[in-house]
Structure 1
Amino acid sequence: MSLVTSLTYVLPHRFLSSLARGLAYSRSPWLKQWLIDTVTKRFGVDLSEAAEPDPNAYPTFNAFFTRALKPGARTPDADPRALLMPADGHISQCGAIEGGRIFQAKGQSFTATELLADATAAAPFSDGLFATVYLSPRDYHRVHMPWRGRLLETVHVPGRLFSVGTDAVKHVPRLFARNERLVCHFETDFGPMAVVMVGALLVSGVETVWSGVEIPRYANAVTRKDHRDENIVLDRFAEMARFNYGSTVIVLLPPQVAQLAPNLLAESPVKLGERLATMTV
Protein backbone atom coordinates (compact mmCIF):
# COMPACT_ATOMS: atom_id res chain seq x y z
CA MET A 1 0.00 0.00 0.00
CA SER A 2 1.37 3.41 -0.96
CA LEU A 3 1.92 6.21 1.56
CA VAL A 4 -0.85 8.26 -0.08
CA THR A 5 -3.36 5.41 0.27
CA SER A 6 -2.32 4.86 3.88
CA LEU A 7 -2.79 8.55 4.66
CA THR A 8 -6.33 8.54 3.27
CA TYR A 9 -7.41 6.47 6.27
CA VAL A 10 -6.70 9.40 8.58
CA LEU A 11 -7.16 12.47 6.37
CA PRO A 12 -10.26 14.66 6.94
CA HIS A 13 -12.01 13.61 3.73
CA ARG A 14 -14.94 15.98 3.66
CA PHE A 15 -12.86 18.98 4.73
CA LEU A 16 -10.36 18.37 1.93
CA SER A 17 -13.13 17.85 -0.61
CA SER A 18 -14.90 21.02 0.55
CA LEU A 19 -11.60 22.89 0.19
CA ALA A 20 -11.17 21.46 -3.31
CA ARG A 21 -14.69 22.58 -4.13
CA GLY A 22 -13.88 26.14 -3.08
CA LEU A 23 -10.82 26.15 -5.33
CA ALA A 24 -12.74 24.60 -8.21
CA TYR A 25 -15.41 27.32 -8.14
CA SER A 26 -13.04 30.22 -7.53
CA ARG A 27 -13.28 33.02 -10.11
CA SER A 28 -9.85 34.36 -9.24
CA PRO A 29 -8.32 34.72 -12.73
CA TRP A 30 -4.79 33.71 -11.75
CA LEU A 31 -5.88 30.81 -9.52
CA LYS A 32 -8.33 29.22 -11.93
CA GLN A 33 -5.85 29.57 -14.79
CA TRP A 34 -3.02 28.09 -12.78
CA LEU A 35 -5.21 25.11 -11.92
CA ILE A 36 -6.34 24.63 -15.52
CA ASP A 37 -2.82 24.93 -16.94
CA THR A 38 -1.35 22.62 -14.29
CA VAL A 39 -3.90 19.85 -14.88
CA THR A 40 -3.76 20.22 -18.66
CA LYS A 41 0.02 19.75 -18.67
CA ARG A 42 0.24 17.16 -15.89
CA PHE A 43 -2.40 14.84 -17.32
CA GLY A 44 -2.17 15.61 -21.02
CA VAL A 45 -5.72 16.92 -21.43
CA ASP A 46 -6.75 17.03 -25.11
CA LEU A 47 -8.68 20.29 -25.47
CA SER A 48 -8.98 19.87 -29.24
CA GLU A 49 -12.05 17.72 -28.53
CA ALA A 50 -13.70 20.31 -26.31
CA ALA A 51 -16.55 22.53 -27.45
CA GLU A 52 -14.40 25.37 -26.06
CA PRO A 53 -10.75 24.55 -26.88
CA ASP A 54 -9.33 27.78 -25.40
CA PRO A 55 -8.15 27.02 -21.82
CA ASN A 56 -8.33 30.73 -20.98
CA ALA A 57 -12.05 30.95 -21.79
CA TYR A 58 -13.31 28.98 -18.78
CA PRO A 59 -14.54 31.15 -15.89
CA THR A 60 -13.66 28.56 -13.24
CA PHE A 61 -11.64 25.38 -12.90
CA ASN A 62 -14.89 23.46 -12.46
CA ALA A 63 -16.22 24.82 -15.76
CA PHE A 64 -13.06 23.49 -17.42
CA PHE A 65 -13.36 20.12 -15.68
CA THR A 66 -16.99 19.60 -16.68
CA ARG A 67 -16.44 20.92 -20.20
CA ALA A 68 -18.66 19.80 -23.05
CA LEU A 69 -17.27 18.06 -26.11
CA LYS A 70 -17.61 19.17 -29.71
CA PRO A 71 -20.60 17.71 -31.54
CA GLY A 72 -19.52 14.40 -33.02
CA ALA A 73 -16.47 13.99 -30.76
CA ARG A 74 -18.19 10.89 -29.35
CA THR A 75 -20.78 8.83 -31.18
CA PRO A 76 -22.82 5.83 -30.01
CA ASP A 77 -22.10 2.38 -31.38
CA ALA A 78 -24.22 1.99 -34.51
CA ASP A 79 -25.58 -1.42 -33.51
CA PRO A 80 -28.97 -0.78 -31.85
CA ARG A 81 -28.33 -3.83 -29.63
CA ALA A 82 -25.18 -2.26 -28.17
CA LEU A 83 -25.42 -1.13 -24.59
CA LEU A 84 -23.05 1.83 -24.39
CA MET A 85 -20.00 2.75 -22.36
CA PRO A 86 -21.22 5.52 -20.02
CA ALA A 87 -18.01 7.56 -19.86
CA ASP A 88 -14.44 8.06 -21.02
CA GLY A 89 -11.84 6.42 -18.80
CA HIS A 90 -10.40 3.00 -18.06
CA ILE A 91 -12.09 -0.24 -17.12
CA SER A 92 -11.30 -0.88 -13.47
CA GLN A 93 -13.04 -4.26 -13.55
CA CYS A 94 -16.02 -5.82 -15.30
CA GLY A 95 -17.67 -9.21 -15.38
CA ALA A 96 -20.25 -11.36 -13.65
CA ILE A 97 -21.80 -10.55 -10.30
CA GLU A 98 -21.23 -13.87 -8.58
CA GLY A 99 -23.61 -14.69 -5.77
CA GLY A 100 -24.27 -11.01 -5.31
CA ARG A 101 -20.57 -10.13 -5.02
CA ILE A 102 -18.78 -7.61 -7.26
CA PHE A 103 -15.07 -8.05 -7.93
CA GLN A 104 -12.90 -5.04 -7.03
CA ALA A 105 -9.31 -6.33 -7.27
CA LYS A 106 -7.38 -9.48 -6.35
CA GLY A 107 -8.53 -10.45 -2.88
CA GLN A 108 -11.07 -7.59 -2.76
CA SER A 109 -14.82 -7.59 -3.42
CA PHE A 110 -18.05 -6.12 -2.08
CA THR A 111 -21.71 -6.98 -2.39
CA ALA A 112 -24.33 -5.37 -4.57
CA THR A 113 -26.35 -4.87 -1.40
CA GLU A 114 -23.49 -2.88 0.15
CA LEU A 115 -23.04 -0.81 -3.00
CA LEU A 116 -26.73 0.03 -3.40
CA ALA A 117 -27.41 0.19 0.37
CA ASP A 118 -30.54 -1.86 -0.21
CA ALA A 119 -30.90 -5.65 -0.27
CA THR A 120 -34.23 -5.52 -2.11
CA ALA A 121 -32.86 -3.26 -4.85
CA ALA A 122 -29.75 -5.45 -5.16
CA ALA A 123 -31.63 -8.74 -5.56
CA PRO A 124 -32.41 -8.37 -9.31
CA PHE A 125 -28.69 -7.93 -10.05
CA SER A 126 -27.55 -11.09 -8.28
CA ASP A 127 -25.69 -13.16 -10.90
CA GLY A 128 -25.97 -10.29 -13.36
CA LEU A 129 -23.20 -8.16 -14.88
CA PHE A 130 -21.20 -5.15 -13.71
CA ALA A 131 -18.74 -2.71 -15.25
CA THR A 132 -16.62 -0.28 -13.22
CA VAL A 133 -15.18 2.66 -15.18
CA TYR A 134 -12.54 4.95 -13.66
CA LEU A 135 -12.40 8.55 -14.88
CA SER A 136 -8.97 10.15 -14.55
CA PRO A 137 -8.42 13.92 -14.32
CA ARG A 138 -7.74 14.05 -18.08
CA ASP A 139 -11.06 12.52 -19.10
CA TYR A 140 -14.39 13.96 -20.17
CA HIS A 141 -16.35 14.14 -16.92
CA ARG A 142 -19.93 13.75 -18.04
CA VAL A 143 -21.70 10.42 -17.71
CA HIS A 144 -24.22 9.30 -20.32
CA MET A 145 -26.93 6.67 -20.46
CA PRO A 146 -25.88 3.15 -21.46
CA TRP A 147 -29.47 2.43 -22.53
CA ARG A 148 -32.81 4.22 -22.65
CA GLY A 149 -34.43 4.26 -19.23
CA ARG A 150 -37.02 5.87 -16.98
CA LEU A 151 -35.66 7.20 -13.70
CA LEU A 152 -37.28 5.56 -10.69
CA GLU A 153 -35.24 6.66 -7.71
CA THR A 154 -31.93 8.11 -6.58
CA VAL A 155 -30.25 7.08 -3.36
CA HIS A 156 -27.54 9.29 -1.85
CA VAL A 157 -25.39 7.03 0.31
CA PRO A 158 -23.03 8.87 2.67
CA GLY A 159 -19.58 7.48 3.30
CA ARG A 160 -15.87 8.08 3.13
CA LEU A 161 -14.04 9.73 0.24
CA PHE A 162 -11.05 7.48 -0.39
CA SER A 163 -9.02 7.93 -3.54
CA VAL A 164 -10.23 5.63 -6.33
CA GLY A 165 -6.79 5.36 -7.97
CA THR A 166 -5.28 1.98 -8.80
CA ASP A 167 -3.37 1.58 -5.53
CA ALA A 168 -6.41 2.36 -3.40
CA VAL A 169 -8.59 -0.03 -5.40
CA LYS A 170 -6.06 -2.80 -4.76
CA HIS A 171 -5.71 -2.19 -1.03
CA VAL A 172 -8.80 -0.52 0.47
CA PRO A 173 -11.39 -3.22 1.29
CA ARG A 174 -14.88 -2.64 -0.18
CA LEU A 175 -13.72 0.74 -1.49
CA PHE A 176 -16.65 1.53 -3.79
CA ALA A 177 -19.16 0.41 -1.16
CA ARG A 178 -17.53 2.69 1.44
CA ASN A 179 -17.20 5.91 -0.54
CA GLU A 180 -20.01 8.45 -0.75
CA ARG A 181 -22.09 7.76 -3.85
CA LEU A 182 -25.29 8.45 -5.76
CA VAL A 183 -27.22 5.38 -6.88
CA CYS A 184 -29.51 5.97 -9.87
CA HIS A 185 -32.18 3.32 -10.49
CA PHE A 186 -33.71 3.07 -13.96
CA GLU A 187 -36.50 1.01 -15.47
CA THR A 188 -35.67 -0.21 -19.00
CA ASP A 189 -37.22 -2.49 -21.58
CA PHE A 190 -35.03 -5.35 -20.30
CA GLY A 191 -35.65 -4.71 -16.59
CA PRO A 192 -33.80 -2.73 -13.91
CA MET A 193 -30.50 -0.93 -14.51
CA ALA A 194 -28.44 0.82 -11.85
CA VAL A 195 -25.83 3.49 -12.55
CA VAL A 196 -23.76 4.40 -9.50
CA MET A 197 -21.75 7.62 -9.34
CA VAL A 198 -18.99 7.03 -6.78
CA GLY A 199 -17.32 10.01 -5.13
CA ALA A 200 -13.64 10.20 -4.23
CA LEU A 201 -11.11 12.27 -2.33
CA LEU A 202 -11.11 15.85 -3.68
CA VAL A 203 -14.25 15.21 -5.72
CA SER A 204 -16.19 18.42 -5.33
CA GLY A 205 -19.58 17.02 -6.23
CA VAL A 206 -21.94 15.02 -8.42
CA GLU A 207 -24.66 16.69 -10.47
CA THR A 208 -27.56 15.14 -12.38
CA VAL A 209 -29.44 16.57 -15.35
CA TRP A 210 -32.74 16.22 -13.49
CA SER A 211 -31.89 17.66 -10.06
CA GLY A 212 -28.63 19.58 -10.30
CA VAL A 213 -26.17 19.22 -7.41
CA GLU A 214 -26.63 15.95 -5.47
CA ILE A 215 -23.23 15.69 -3.69
CA PRO A 216 -22.52 17.79 -1.74
CA ARG A 217 -24.67 18.30 0.33
CA TYR A 218 -22.69 15.78 2.34
CA ALA A 219 -24.96 13.75 4.58
CA ASN A 220 -24.86 11.36 7.52
CA ALA A 221 -27.88 9.27 6.56
CA VAL A 222 -29.11 7.63 3.36
CA THR A 223 -31.37 9.98 1.38
CA ARG A 224 -33.87 8.63 -1.14
CA LYS A 225 -35.68 10.63 -3.82
CA ASP A 226 -38.62 9.04 -5.61
CA HIS A 227 -38.87 10.24 -9.21
CA ARG A 228 -41.48 7.76 -10.48
CA ASP A 229 -44.22 10.36 -10.91
CA GLU A 230 -41.98 12.78 -12.81
CA ASN A 231 -41.72 10.65 -15.96
CA ILE A 232 -38.01 11.40 -16.45
CA VAL A 233 -36.98 9.34 -19.48
CA LEU A 234 -33.44 9.56 -20.82
CA ASP A 235 -32.47 8.14 -24.18
CA ARG A 236 -29.53 5.87 -24.88
CA PHE A 237 -26.36 8.04 -25.08
CA ALA A 238 -28.06 11.07 -23.44
CA GLU A 239 -26.15 12.89 -20.70
CA MET A 240 -27.36 11.92 -17.23
CA ALA A 241 -24.82 13.32 -14.75
CA ARG A 242 -21.35 14.74 -14.26
CA PHE A 243 -18.49 14.61 -11.80
CA ASN A 244 -16.85 17.82 -10.66
CA TYR A 245 -13.59 15.90 -10.45
CA GLY A 246 -12.44 12.45 -11.61
CA SER A 247 -14.01 9.40 -10.04
CA THR A 248 -15.81 6.17 -10.90
CA VAL A 249 -19.12 5.05 -12.41
CA ILE A 250 -20.47 1.52 -11.96
CA VAL A 251 -23.19 -0.01 -14.16
CA LEU A 252 -25.21 -2.99 -12.92
CA LEU A 253 -27.33 -5.19 -15.20
CA PRO A 254 -29.62 -8.10 -14.37
CA PRO A 255 -28.74 -11.64 -15.49
CA GLN A 256 -29.41 -13.08 -18.96
CA VAL A 257 -30.01 -9.77 -20.73
CA ALA A 258 -26.58 -8.97 -22.22
CA GLN A 259 -23.05 -10.16 -22.87
CA LEU A 260 -20.12 -7.88 -22.08
CA ALA A 261 -17.98 -6.85 -25.05
CA PRO A 262 -15.17 -9.43 -25.28
CA ASN A 263 -12.42 -6.82 -25.66
CA LEU A 264 -12.99 -5.27 -22.23
CA LEU A 265 -10.13 -5.99 -19.85
CA ALA A 266 -9.00 -4.42 -16.58
CA GLU A 267 -7.10 -1.17 -17.22
CA SER A 268 -8.14 -1.03 -20.88
CA PRO A 269 -8.95 2.52 -22.07
CA VAL A 270 -12.54 3.18 -23.13
CA LYS A 271 -14.50 6.00 -24.70
CA LEU A 272 -18.05 7.17 -24.18
CA GLY A 273 -20.41 5.52 -26.68
CA GLU A 274 -18.30 2.45 -27.34
CA ARG A 275 -19.89 -0.96 -26.87
CA LEU A 276 -20.12 -2.00 -23.25
CA ALA A 277 -22.29 -5.03 -23.89
CA THR A 278 -24.57 -6.57 -26.48
CA MET A 279 -28.20 -7.11 -25.61
CA THR A 280 -29.37 -10.71 -25.91
CA VAL A 281 -33.07 -10.26 -25.18
Structure 2
Amino acid sequence: MNDQTFMKLMRLLPKSALSTVVGMATRAPLPAPVHQAAMRAFARSYNVDMAEAEHPIEHYPTFAQFFTRGLKTGLRPIDADAKSVVSPVDGRVSQVGYSDLGRCLQAKGIEYTVDELLGDAEAAKPFHGGAWTTIYLSPRDYHRIHSPLAGTITGYAYIPGEFWPVNPASVLNKQSLFCVNERLVTYLETVAGKCAVVKVGATCVSRIKAAYDDVTTHTGQPGKVHRYQEGYKVEKGGELGRFEMGSTVILLFEPGRVKWDPVLQEDAVLRLGQRIGVVP
Protein backbone atom coordinates (compact mmCIF):
# COMPACT_ATOMS: atom_id res chain seq x y z
CA MET A 1 0.00 0.00 0.00
CA ASN A 2 1.47 3.37 -0.98
CA ASP A 3 1.39 6.42 1.28
CA GLN A 4 -1.44 8.17 -0.58
CA THR A 5 -3.72 5.11 -0.37
CA PHE A 6 -2.87 4.76 3.32
CA MET A 7 -3.73 8.40 3.99
CA LYS A 8 -7.06 8.09 2.15
CA LEU A 9 -7.94 5.09 4.30
CA MET A 10 -6.94 6.96 7.46
CA ARG A 11 -9.23 9.85 6.53
CA LEU A 12 -12.16 7.44 6.33
CA LEU A 13 -11.30 5.45 9.45
CA PRO A 14 -13.12 6.48 12.67
CA LYS A 15 -9.80 6.87 14.50
CA SER A 16 -11.13 8.17 17.82
CA ALA A 17 -13.76 5.45 18.12
CA LEU A 18 -11.24 2.78 17.11
CA SER A 19 -8.77 4.06 19.71
CA THR A 20 -11.50 3.96 22.38
CA VAL A 21 -12.41 0.37 21.53
CA VAL A 22 -8.78 -0.78 21.40
CA GLY A 23 -8.11 0.96 24.72
CA MET A 24 -11.05 -0.76 26.40
CA ALA A 25 -9.87 -4.10 25.02
CA THR A 26 -6.34 -3.60 26.37
CA ARG A 27 -7.74 -2.91 29.84
CA ALA A 28 -10.18 -5.81 29.86
CA PRO A 29 -9.20 -8.76 32.08
CA LEU A 30 -9.16 -11.97 30.04
CA PRO A 31 -8.49 -15.59 31.01
CA ALA A 32 -4.77 -15.87 31.76
CA PRO A 33 -3.95 -18.38 28.98
CA VAL A 34 -5.64 -16.12 26.39
CA HIS A 35 -4.01 -12.81 27.22
CA GLN A 36 -0.61 -14.34 27.99
CA ALA A 37 -0.59 -16.04 24.59
CA ALA A 38 -1.58 -12.75 22.94
CA MET A 39 1.10 -10.80 24.80
CA ARG A 40 3.75 -13.34 23.86
CA ALA A 41 2.66 -13.11 20.23
CA PHE A 42 2.85 -9.31 20.41
CA ALA A 43 6.30 -9.45 22.04
CA ARG A 44 7.57 -11.78 19.30
CA SER A 45 6.00 -9.72 16.51
CA TYR A 46 7.52 -6.42 17.69
CA ASN A 47 10.74 -7.90 19.10
CA VAL A 48 10.02 -6.70 22.64
CA ASP A 49 12.96 -7.36 24.96
CA MET A 50 11.18 -8.91 27.94
CA ALA A 51 14.54 -9.41 29.68
CA GLU A 52 14.38 -5.67 30.45
CA ALA A 53 10.86 -5.77 31.91
CA GLU A 54 10.37 -5.30 35.63
CA HIS A 55 8.32 -8.53 35.79
CA PRO A 56 7.87 -11.65 33.66
CA ILE A 57 5.02 -11.57 31.17
CA GLU A 58 2.82 -13.73 33.43
CA HIS A 59 2.73 -10.88 35.98
CA TYR A 60 0.61 -8.56 33.80
CA PRO A 61 -3.13 -9.22 34.02
CA THR A 62 -4.06 -6.92 31.10
CA PHE A 63 -2.51 -5.67 27.89
CA ALA A 64 -2.54 -2.11 29.23
CA GLN A 65 -0.37 -3.09 32.20
CA PHE A 66 1.97 -4.96 29.87
CA PHE A 67 2.27 -1.94 27.54
CA THR A 68 3.04 0.39 30.43
CA ARG A 69 5.43 -2.04 32.13
CA GLY A 70 8.31 -0.72 34.18
CA LEU A 71 11.97 -1.56 33.67
CA LYS A 72 14.27 -3.47 35.99
CA THR A 73 15.85 -1.22 38.62
CA GLY A 74 19.09 0.40 37.45
CA LEU A 75 18.65 -0.64 33.83
CA ARG A 76 18.57 2.97 32.56
CA PRO A 77 21.15 5.00 34.51
CA ILE A 78 20.44 8.73 34.45
CA ASP A 79 23.38 10.94 33.43
CA ALA A 80 24.43 12.53 36.72
CA ASP A 81 25.81 15.85 35.41
CA ALA A 82 23.44 18.53 36.72
CA LYS A 83 23.71 20.43 33.42
CA SER A 84 23.17 17.48 31.11
CA VAL A 85 19.79 17.12 29.41
CA VAL A 86 18.75 13.46 29.19
CA SER A 87 16.44 11.57 26.90
CA PRO A 88 12.99 11.34 28.53
CA VAL A 89 12.17 8.05 26.78
CA ASP A 90 13.39 5.05 24.87
CA GLY A 91 12.78 5.91 21.23
CA ARG A 92 14.10 7.11 17.91
CA VAL A 93 14.81 10.72 16.94
CA SER A 94 12.41 11.95 14.27
CA GLN A 95 13.64 15.55 13.99
CA VAL A 96 15.81 17.92 16.01
CA GLY A 97 16.74 21.57 15.83
CA TYR A 98 16.18 25.10 17.09
CA SER A 99 12.80 26.69 16.36
CA ASP A 100 13.27 29.52 13.88
CA LEU A 101 10.64 32.15 14.73
CA GLY A 102 8.71 29.52 16.63
CA ARG A 103 8.61 27.03 13.77
CA CYS A 104 9.58 23.35 14.02
CA LEU A 105 10.20 20.77 11.30
CA GLN A 106 7.81 17.81 11.10
CA ALA A 107 9.32 16.34 7.93
CA LYS A 108 10.88 17.62 4.72
CA GLY A 109 8.61 20.36 3.41
CA ILE A 110 6.27 20.32 6.43
CA GLU A 111 6.57 22.71 9.36
CA TYR A 112 4.34 23.57 12.29
CA THR A 113 4.44 26.30 14.92
CA VAL A 114 5.03 26.00 18.64
CA ASP A 115 1.86 28.07 19.08
CA GLU A 116 -0.17 25.37 17.26
CA LEU A 117 1.53 22.57 19.17
CA LEU A 118 0.82 24.03 22.62
CA GLY A 119 -2.56 25.45 21.63
CA ASP A 120 -1.71 28.67 23.44
CA ALA A 121 0.27 31.52 21.87
CA GLU A 122 1.15 33.03 25.25
CA ALA A 123 2.44 29.74 26.66
CA ALA A 124 4.38 29.14 23.44
CA LYS A 125 6.12 32.52 23.32
CA PRO A 126 9.03 31.58 25.68
CA PHE A 127 9.96 28.67 23.39
CA HIS A 128 10.30 30.65 20.15
CA GLY A 129 13.85 30.16 18.92
CA GLY A 130 14.67 27.45 21.46
CA ALA A 131 15.94 23.90 21.18
CA TRP A 132 13.39 21.22 20.32
CA THR A 133 13.37 17.56 19.36
CA THR A 134 10.77 14.97 18.38
CA ILE A 135 11.20 11.38 19.59
CA TYR A 136 9.06 8.49 18.31
CA LEU A 137 8.18 5.53 20.53
CA SER A 138 7.42 2.33 18.65
CA PRO A 139 5.12 -0.43 19.98
CA ARG A 140 8.19 -2.37 21.18
CA ASP A 141 9.52 0.47 23.32
CA TYR A 142 9.23 1.22 27.01
CA HIS A 143 6.20 3.53 27.20
CA ARG A 144 6.83 5.73 30.22
CA ILE A 145 7.94 9.35 29.92
CA HIS A 146 10.47 10.95 32.28
CA SER A 147 11.83 14.39 33.05
CA PRO A 148 14.84 15.52 30.96
CA LEU A 149 16.09 17.72 33.82
CA ALA A 150 15.47 18.15 37.52
CA GLY A 151 13.02 20.92 38.32
CA THR A 152 9.47 21.82 39.28
CA ILE A 153 6.32 20.81 37.45
CA THR A 154 4.48 24.12 37.13
CA GLY A 155 1.37 22.96 35.29
CA TYR A 156 -0.13 20.99 32.45
CA ALA A 157 -2.43 21.35 29.47
CA TYR A 158 -4.72 18.65 28.14
CA ILE A 159 -5.57 19.37 24.50
CA PRO A 160 -8.19 16.99 23.01
CA GLY A 161 -7.74 16.20 19.35
CA GLU A 162 -7.65 13.59 16.64
CA PHE A 163 -5.91 10.22 16.56
CA TRP A 164 -3.90 10.07 13.36
CA PRO A 165 -1.10 7.50 13.25
CA VAL A 166 2.37 8.93 13.87
CA ASN A 167 4.09 6.47 11.53
CA PRO A 168 6.35 7.71 8.69
CA ALA A 169 3.52 7.84 6.14
CA SER A 170 1.52 10.22 8.33
CA VAL A 171 4.53 12.29 9.39
CA LEU A 172 5.49 12.80 5.74
CA ASN A 173 1.99 13.63 4.53
CA LYS A 174 -0.28 15.00 7.26
CA GLN A 175 0.12 18.76 7.74
CA SER A 176 0.67 19.76 11.39
CA LEU A 177 0.14 16.16 12.49
CA PHE A 178 1.36 16.70 16.05
CA CYS A 179 -0.84 19.78 16.38
CA VAL A 180 -4.11 18.08 15.44
CA ASN A 181 -3.63 14.92 17.50
CA GLU A 182 -4.56 14.75 21.19
CA ARG A 183 -1.83 16.07 23.50
CA LEU A 184 -0.87 16.27 27.15
CA VAL A 185 1.72 18.98 27.83
CA THR A 186 3.73 19.06 31.05
CA TYR A 187 5.38 22.39 31.88
CA LEU A 188 8.52 22.50 34.01
CA GLU A 189 10.85 25.10 35.47
CA THR A 190 14.43 23.80 35.33
CA VAL A 191 18.07 24.90 35.41
CA ALA A 192 17.52 25.55 31.68
CA GLY A 193 14.52 27.75 32.36
CA LYS A 194 11.12 26.74 31.06
CA CYS A 195 10.65 23.32 29.47
CA ALA A 196 7.61 21.75 27.84
CA VAL A 197 7.28 17.97 27.49
CA VAL A 198 4.58 17.35 24.88
CA LYS A 199 3.10 13.86 24.83
CA VAL A 200 1.25 13.22 21.55
CA GLY A 201 -1.49 10.62 21.17
CA ALA A 202 -2.05 8.52 18.06
CA THR A 203 -4.28 5.82 16.59
CA CYS A 204 -4.84 3.18 19.28
CA VAL A 205 -2.88 5.22 21.83
CA SER A 206 -6.12 5.40 23.72
CA ARG A 207 -4.92 7.25 26.79
CA ILE A 208 -2.02 9.24 28.21
CA LYS A 209 -1.68 9.30 32.00
CA ALA A 210 0.17 11.84 34.12
CA ALA A 211 2.28 10.54 37.00
CA TYR A 212 2.11 13.72 39.08
CA ASP A 213 -1.67 14.30 39.15
CA ASP A 214 -4.98 12.58 38.47
CA VAL A 215 -4.95 13.35 34.75
CA THR A 216 -5.91 10.82 32.08
CA THR A 217 -6.65 11.79 28.49
CA HIS A 218 -9.39 10.50 26.17
CA THR A 219 -11.92 9.82 28.91
CA GLY A 220 -14.62 12.16 27.63
CA GLN A 221 -13.40 15.14 29.62
CA PRO A 222 -12.97 18.59 28.00
CA GLY A 223 -9.59 20.21 27.49
CA LYS A 224 -8.00 21.74 30.53
CA VAL A 225 -5.11 24.04 31.43
CA HIS A 226 -3.91 23.99 35.03
CA ARG A 227 -1.13 25.91 36.78
CA TYR A 228 0.12 24.83 40.19
CA GLN A 229 0.64 27.45 42.88
CA GLU A 230 3.71 25.74 44.29
CA GLY A 231 4.29 22.94 41.81
CA TYR A 232 5.75 19.48 42.22
CA LYS A 233 9.47 18.81 42.52
CA VAL A 234 10.78 16.22 40.07
CA GLU A 235 14.26 14.75 39.80
CA LYS A 236 16.02 14.26 36.51
CA GLY A 237 14.67 10.99 35.15
CA GLY A 238 11.60 11.18 37.40
CA GLU A 239 8.44 9.79 35.82
CA LEU A 240 6.06 12.31 34.23
CA GLY A 241 3.53 9.94 32.67
CA ARG A 242 2.94 7.00 30.38
CA PHE A 243 1.41 6.06 27.04
CA GLU A 244 -0.94 3.15 26.57
CA MET A 245 0.88 1.88 23.47
CA GLY A 246 3.57 3.92 21.70
CA SER A 247 3.52 7.45 20.31
CA THR A 248 5.62 10.62 20.21
CA VAL A 249 7.24 13.03 22.67
CA ILE A 250 8.36 16.55 21.75
CA LEU A 251 10.72 18.54 24.01
CA LEU A 252 10.79 22.35 23.95
CA PHE A 253 13.26 24.69 25.66
CA GLU A 254 13.80 28.45 25.83
CA PRO A 255 16.25 30.01 23.34
CA GLY A 256 19.92 29.85 24.27
CA ARG A 257 19.33 27.57 27.25
CA VAL A 258 20.08 24.12 25.78
CA LYS A 259 22.65 23.01 23.22
CA TRP A 260 22.02 19.65 21.62
CA ASP A 261 24.66 16.94 21.80
CA PRO A 262 26.06 15.62 18.48
CA VAL A 263 24.47 12.24 19.31
CA LEU A 264 21.04 13.78 18.71
CA GLN A 265 20.72 13.12 14.99
CA GLU A 266 17.72 12.16 12.87
CA ASP A 267 17.01 8.40 13.25
CA ALA A 268 19.33 8.06 16.25
CA VAL A 269 18.14 5.44 18.74
CA LEU A 270 17.89 6.81 22.28
CA ARG A 271 17.61 5.27 25.71
CA LEU A 272 16.06 6.88 28.74
CA GLY A 273 18.64 8.75 30.81
CA GLN A 274 21.36 9.14 28.18
CA ARG A 275 22.76 12.61 27.62
CA ILE A 276 21.26 14.37 24.59
CA GLY A 277 22.18 17.98 25.38
CA VAL A 278 23.78 20.39 27.79
CA VAL A 279 22.87 23.59 29.58
CA PRO A 280 25.66 26.03 28.58
TM-score range, shorter chain: over 0.9
Percent identity between matched residues is 36
**Any idea what SS the aligned residue of 1:7 has?**
helix
Among 79, 83, 89, which residue is 2:81 paired with?
A: 79
Residue 215 of structure 1 is aligned with which of 192, 206, 217?
A: 217
1:225-244 aligned at under 5 Å gives the runs 225-229=226-230, 231-244=231-244
1:1-281, aligned counterparts within 5 Å? 1-29=3-31, 30-52=33-55, 54-219=56-221, 222-229=223-230, 231-280=231-280
Count of residue correspondences: 277
What letter is aligned with 1:260? W
The list of structure 1 runs, each at least 4 consecutive aligned residues, that deviate by more than 4 angstroms after superposition, is: none
Task: For structure 1, list consecutive stretches of 5 or more residues without a partner in the other structure.
Answer: none
Secondary structure of residue in 2 paired with 1:251 = strand
Does the 8 A contact of 1:179 with 1:198 survive in 2?
yes
Relative distance call for 1:10 and 1:218 in structure 2 (3 A) is farther
- Pairwise CA distance, 1:57: 2.1
Q: TM-score, normalised by structure 2?
A: 0.95
CA 1:277–1:13: 2 relative to 1, 3 Å: same
Say if 2:192 and 2:253, in contact at 8 Å, map to a contact too. Answer: no
* Inter-partner Cα distance in structure 1 for 2:220 and 2:38: 24
State the 1:266 CA deviation.
1.3
Superposition deviation, residue 80 in structure 1: 2.6
Q: Letter of the 1:235 partner, please give it.
A: E
Tell me the SS of whatever aligns to 1:155.
strand
Tell me how far apart the structure 2 counterparts of residues 275 and 71 of structure 1 sit (CA, whole Å): 19
Secondary structure of 1:215's aligned partner: coil
Contact 2:263 2:276 in 1 (8 A): no
Distance of 1:80 and 1:187 partners within structure 2: 14
2:73 & 2:260 partners in 1: Cα distance? Answer: 27
- Aligned-residue RMSD, C-alpha: 1.4
